[in-house]
Structure 1
Amino acid sequence: MSGIVESAGTEAARQPTGGQGGMGLPEGLAGQSRTVRRALLDAALEVFTERGYTDAGLTEIAARSGIPVGTLFQHYGGKRGLYLALWEEFREEQERLTAVTLASERSRGVDDPIALFVTGARAYLEGAWDNRRLGRLLVEDDGPAGFDALRRQWDRAWVRRNARLLEVDERRRAGRVRVSVLTTVIGGAARELGDCGDETEAREIVDEVCGILLHLSAPPG
Structure 2
Amino acid sequence: MAVKGLRAEYAEATRSALLEAGRRLFVERRYSELSAEEIARAARLTRGALYHHFGGKQGLFEAVFEQIEAELTGRLGAALTGDDAWEDGLRALDAFLDECTSVPYRRIVLQEGPVALGWDRWRELDERHMLGLVRGLVDELNRAGILRPRPPDLVVRAIYGLLTEIAWGMAEAGDSEQARRDAGQIALEMISALRLP
* TM-score, normalisation: structure 1: 0.65
Indicate the residue corresponding to 1:79 in structure 2.
57
Instruction: Return the offset for 1:89.
Output: 0.3
Q: Which amino acid aligns with 2:42?
A: R
Higher RCO, 1 vs 2 (CA within 8 Å, ≥6 residues apart): 1
**Could you tell me how far apart the structure 2 residues matched to 1:25 and 1:196 are?**
48
Query: For each residue in 1:108-144, what CA deviation from the matched residue of structure 2 results, as whole angstroms up to 9, or x when unmatched?
Result: x32x3x33323222222222323x3343333343124
Task: Structure 1: state its 5+ residue gaps.
Answer: 1-23
The CA RMSD over aligned residues, in Å, is 3.3
Q: Could you tell me whether the CA contact under 8 Å between 1:128 and 1:194 is conserved in 2?
A: yes
- 1:192 aligns to 2:169 (yes or no): yes
- 1:153 aligns to 2:131 (yes or no): no
Identity %: 21
Indicate the residue corresponding to 2:146 in structure 1.
none
For 1:1-221, what aligned pairs fall within 5 Å after superposition? 25-26=5-6, 30=9, 33-49=11-27, 52-103=30-81, 106=82, 109-110=83-84, 112=85, 114-130=86-102, 132-139=103-110, 140=112, 141-144=114-117, 147-156=118-127, 158-159=130-131, 161-167=133-139, 168=142, 174-195=151-172, 200-201=177-178, 203-219=180-196
**Could you tell me how far apart the structure 1 residues matched to 2:190 and 2:90 are?**
7
* TM-score, normalisation: structure 2: 0.72
Q: Which amino acid aligns with 1:143?
A: A
SS at match of 1:66: coil
Which is richer in helix? 2
Query: For each residue in 1:184-215, what CA deviation from the matched residue of structure 2 results, as whole angstroms up to 9, or x when unmatched?
Result: 11112222333455664354145324422442
Task: Structure 2: state its 5+ residue gaps.
Answer: 144-148
Moved more, 187-196 or 118-127: 187-196
How many residues align? The count is: 184
**Could you tell me how far apart the structure 2 residues matched to 1:80 and 1:160 are?**
25
